[in-house]
Amino acid sequence: MADDSKPLLEFKEVSLRFGEKWALKKISLTLNPGETRIIFGAAGSGKTTLLKAVIGLVEVDEGEIRLFGKNIAHMDEHELYGLRARAGFLFQEGGLFDSLTIGENVEYPLLNQQSSGSTSASDGPDKSSETGSEQRAKNTLRFVELEHTFNQFPAEVSGGMRRRVGIARAIVTEPPLVLYDSPTAGLDPITANTIMALVAKERDTRNSASLIVTHRYQDGELMSKFRYDAEREELQPVDPQDETRADCRTKFIVMKDGEIVFFGTRPELESSDDDYVKKFIPKEESHAV
Amino acid sequence: MARFLTTWISSFQDFILLAGRAFLNIIRKPHYYMDVLLQMDGIGFGSVPIVVLTGFFSGAIIALQMSRALNTYGASSQVGSIVALTLVRELGPVLTALLVAGRNASGIASELGSMKVSEQIDAMRALGTDPIQKLVTPRLIATALMLPLLTVVADAIGLIGAYLVAVPLLHVISAGTYWTTSWRALVVNDLAQGLMKPFLFGILISLIGCFYGLRTSGGTQGVGLATTQAVVSASIWIFFVTFLIDKIFVNL
Tell me the C-alpha distance between A277 and B176, whole Å. Answer: 91
Dist. CA A288–CA A188, nearest whole Å: 14
Whether the pLDDT of residue A124 is over 60: the answer is: no
Element (H, E) at B66: helix B48-72
Strand partners, A88: A178
Beta-carbon separation of B128 and A89 below 8 A:
no
**CA separation (Å) from A46 to A15, A24, A37, A127?**
11, 6, 15, 38
What distance lies between CA A251 and its chain's CA centroid?
Answer: 14
CB B128 within 8 A of CB A81: yes
The domain total for chain A is 1
Q: How far is CA A34 from CA A6, A50, A172, in A?
A: 12, 20, 17
Tell me if A116 and B134 make a contact (CB, 8 A cut-off).
no
Beta-carbon separation of B130 and A93 below 8 A: no
For residue range B209-230, list pLDDT tens digits in order: 999 999 998 888 899 999 999 9
Q: pLDDT (tens digit, 9 = 90+) per residue, A175-232? A: 999 999 988 888 888 888 888 888 888 888 888 899 999 988 888 888 888 888 877 7
Q: How does residue A289 score in pLDDT terms, banded at 50, 70 and 90?
A: very low
CA distance A209 to A37: 8
**Interchain contact, A114 vs B29, CB within 8 Å:** yes
Cα–Cα distance for residue pair B198/B204, rounded to 1 Å: 10
User: Amino acid identity of B142?
Assistant: A
In this structure, is residue A66 part of a structural domain?
no
* B162-183 burial code (b ≥16 CB/10 A, e <16): bbebbbeebebbeeebbbebbe
Print burial letters for A164-175: b (CB count within 10 Å at least 16), e (below 16): bbbbbbbbbbbb
Say yes or no to pLDDT of B199 above 90. Answer: yes
pLDDT band at A261 (very low <50, low <70, confident <90, very high): very high
The whole-angstrom separation of Cα A73 and Cα A27 is 13
Residues of A (185-244) whose Cβ lies below 8 Å from B: none
Size of interface A-B (CB pairs under 8 A): 73
Decide if A85 and B126 are in contact by the 8 Å CB cutoff: no
Report the pLDDT value the prediction gives residue A229, as an integer from 0 to 100.
80
**Residue B199: in which H helix or E strand, if any?**
helix B188-214
Residue A106: inside a domain: yes
Q: Is residue A88 part of a domain?
A: no
Chain B interface includes A85 (CB < 8 A): yes
The answer for residues whose C-beta is within 8 angstroms of residue A52's C-beta and 6 or more apart is A58
The shortest C-alpha distance from A71 to chain B (Å) reads 17
Chain B positions touching A104 (Cβ under 8 A) are none
Q: Are B113 and B215 in contact (CB under 8 A)?
A: no
Range of the domain at A162: 99-110+118-175
Across the interface, of A89, A95, A120, the residue whose CB is closest to B120 is: A95
Q: Does A128 touch chain B (CB under 8 A)?
A: no
Q: Which residue of B has its CA nearest to A84?
A: B128
Quick one: pLDDT at residue B68?
82
Can you give the pLDDT at residue A233?
A: 77
Nearest residue in A to B31, CA atom: A125
Q: Which residues of chain A have a CB within 8 Å of the CB of B126?
A: 55, 57, 84, 89, 91, 95
> With the C-alpha atoms ordered B226, B232, B234, B236, is the resulting torsion angle positive or negative?
negative
Asked if the structure places residue A85 within a domain, the reply is no
Q: Does A53 touch chain B (CB under 8 A)?
A: no
Q: What are phi and psi of A22, to 5 degrees?
A: -80, 120
Q: Model-level pTM? A: 0.82
Q: Could you tell me if residue A155 is inside a domain? A: yes
| Closest CB to A89 among B118, B126, B129 | B126
Give the nearest partner residue to B126 out of A57, A97, A122, using CB atoms: A57
Per residue in A76-123, pLDDT (tens digit) is: 888 888 888 889 999 887 789 998 999 999 999 888 775 433 333 333
Helices within chain A (DSSP H only): 47-54, 77-84, 102-112, 130-143, 159-171, 189-206, 217-225, 246-249, 266-270, 275-278
Tens of pLDDT, residues B49-91? 999 999 999 999 999 988 888 888 878 788 888 889 989 988 9
pLDDT, averaged across chain A:
83
**A93 secondary structure, DSSP code:** T
Residues making up chain A, counted from first to last: 289
